[in-house]
Structure 1
Amino acid sequence: MVSHLLNTIRNAVGITGNVIALFLFLSPVPTFIRIWKKGSVEQFSPIPYLATLINCMLWVIYGLPMVHPNSTLVVTINGAGTAIEVVFLTLFLVFCHDKKKRLVVLLIVVVELVIAAAIATVILTQVYTTQRRSMIVGIIAILFNIMMYAAPLSVMKLVITTKSVEYMPFSLSLASFLNGVAWTTYAFLPFDPFIAVPNGVGTMFSLAQLLLYGTYYKSTKRIIAARKESKMESEMHLSLSEVAVANGGVVPKKTAGAAP
C-alpha cells in the first residue's frame, strides 16, 4: 500500500517535472523572437543551448528501458528537449553573422552528437546489466547536467560587469529553478542520486540567477531608457543634418558691417 502510494506520488511529481521542464526548454522562445525580428543574435550566448542539447541526449540514453527501467518520463521530456534545442541552435546559426563563431557552434554540435552516439553504442554493446549501465550513464549525465545549469555563469558575469540583466532572460532563470526543484523532489521518491545531485546543484545556480535579476532589474531599466533617449537624440540630429543638406549644406550667417 505504501509502495503503491509512493509510486503514485512519484509519477505525479514526474509529470509536474515534465511540464516545468517543457516550460524550461521553451522559455527562450521570446529571446529567439527578438533575434528573428532584429536579424541578429546580438550578445546572446549559445552556451546554454549547447549544454542543454548534450544534457538532454544523455538523459534520453539514461532513461531507455535497457539502461534504466521504468524511466519513461525521463525519456519523453528529454526527447522533446533534444528536438527543441536543435531548432534553437539552427536559428542561432542562421542569425549569427560572425562566421568564426558560427563555425565553432556547428563543430560543438557535431562533437556532441558523436559523444552521445559513442556512449550509447559502448553502453549497449559492452555493458550487460541495467545496474551497471545506469551507473555509467548516470555519472556521465551528472557531469553534463551540472554543465547545463552552470552554463549561464558566463552570462551572470556579463550581468555583474554591465549591471544589466538584458541578456539573461528571466523566464529561463525561473524555469531552471522550478525545474531543479521538481526533479530534485522526484529523485527522492525513491532516492536516485544520479537525478538528485545535478538538479540540486542546478537549483542553487538558478537561485543565484534570480537573485542577480532582482539586484540589477532597476538598473537595467535605467540603462535601456538612457539608450532609447540617446537613440532619439541621434535620430533628431540626423534629421537636422538632412534638412541642412537639403538647403545647400550651409546655414546662412549675417556678416557684421556688410553693405546691404
Structure 2
Amino acid sequence: MVSQLVNTIRNVVGITGNVIALFLFLSPVPTFIRIWKKGSVEQFSPVPYLATLVNCIVWVIYGLPMVHPNSVLVITINAAGTAIEVVFLTLFLIFCHDKKKRLKVLLIIMVELIFMAALATLILTVLHTTQRRSIIVGIIAILFNVMMYAAPLSVMKLVITTKSVEYMPFFLSLASFANGVAWTTYAFLPFDPFIAVPNGVGTIFSLAQLLLYATYYKSTKRIIAARKEAKMEMHLSLSELAVANGDVDPKKTAGATP
C-alpha cells in the first residue's frame, strides 16, 4: 500500500516536472522573438542551448527501457526538449552574422551528435545489464546536466561586469529553478542519485541567477533608459546638423505647415 502511494506521488511529481521542464525549454521564446525582430543574435550566447541539447539527448538514452526501466517520464520531456533546442539553434545559426561564431556552433553541434551516437552504440553493445548501463549513462548524464545548469555562468559574469541583466532572461532562470526543485523531489521517490545530484546542483545555480536578477534589476532599467535618451539626443543632434547644412527644411523639421 505504501509503495503504491509512493509510486502515485512519484508519477504526479514526474508529470509536474514534465510540465515545468517544458516551460523551461520554451522560456527562451521571447528571446528568440527579439532576435527574429532585430534580425541579429546580438550578445546572446548559444552556450545554454548547446548544453541543453546534449543534456536532453543523454537523458533520452538514460530513460530507454533497456538502460533504465520505468523512466517513461524522463524520455517524454527530454525528447520534447531535444526537438525544441534544435529549433532554437537553427534560428541562432540563421541570425548569427559572425561567420566564425556560426561555424563554431555548427562544429559543437556535430561533435555532440557524434558523441551521443557513439555512447548509445557502446552502451547497448558492450554492456549487457540495465544496472551497468544505468550507472555509466547516469554518470555521464550528471556531468551534462550540471553543464546545462552551469552554462549561464558566463552570462552571470557578463551581468556582474555590466551591472545589467538585459542578456540573462528572467523566465529562463525562474523555470530552471522550478525545474530543479521538481526533479530533485522526483529523484527521492525512490532515491535516484543520477537525477538528484545534478538537479540539486541546478537548483543552487538557478537560485544564484535569480538573486543576481533581483540585485541588478533596477540598474538595468537605468542603463536601458540612459541608452534610449542617448539615442534621442543623437537623433536631435543629427537633425540640427542637417538643418544647419541646409539639407532639411527647418519648418518641416519643426513640424510647421508651409
Corresponding residue for residue 233 of structure 2 = 233
2 CA distance for matches of 1:247 and 1:83? 53
Q: Does 1:21 align with 2:21?
A: yes
- The within-5 A match list for 1:134-213 is 134-213=134-213
**1:239: how far off?**
1.5
What CA RMSD, in Å, does the superposition of the two structures yield over aligned residues? Answer: 1.1
Q: Does 1:54 align with 2:65?
A: no
Corresponding residue for residue 42 of structure 2 = 42
Corresponding residue for residue 125 of structure 1 = 125
Residues 160-189 of structure 1, C-alpha deviations (whole Å, 9 max, x = no match)? 000000000000000000000000000000
**1:100: how far off?**
0.3
The amino acid across from 2:123 in the alignment is I
**1:240: how far off?**
1.6
Number of residue pairs the alignment of both structures matches: 249
1 CA distance for matches of 2:107 and 2:183? 31
Runs of 4 or more, structure 1, over 4 Å off, are none
2 CA distance for matches of 1:97 and 1:73? 38
Q: Which residues of structure 1 form unaligned runs of 5+?
A: 249-260
1 CA distance for matches of 2:39 and 2:82? 24
Corresponding residue for residue 214 of structure 1 = 214
Q: TM-score, normalised by structure 1?
A: 0.94
Percent identical pairs in the alignment equals 84
Residues 32-87 of structure 1, C-alpha deviations (whole Å, 9 max, x = no match)? 00000000000000000000000000000000011000000000000000000000
**1:245: how far off?**
3.0
**1:220: how far off?**
0.3
Q: TM-score, normalised by structure 2?
A: 0.95
1 CA distance for matches of 2:247 and 2:63? 73
**1:204: how far off?**
0.1
Cα 1:235–1:126 shift into 2, 3 Å: same
The amino acid across from 1:119 in the alignment is L
The amino acid across from 2:240 in the alignment is L
1 CA distance for matches of 2:28 and 2:245? 45
The amino acid across from 1:113 in the alignment is L
Residues 129-184 of structure 1, C-alpha deviations (whole Å, 9 max, x = no match)? 00100000000010000000000000000000000000000000000000000000
Helix, strand or coil for the counterpart of 1:246?
coil
2 CA distance for matches of 1:106 and 1:238? 41
Corresponding residue for residue 244 of structure 2 = 244
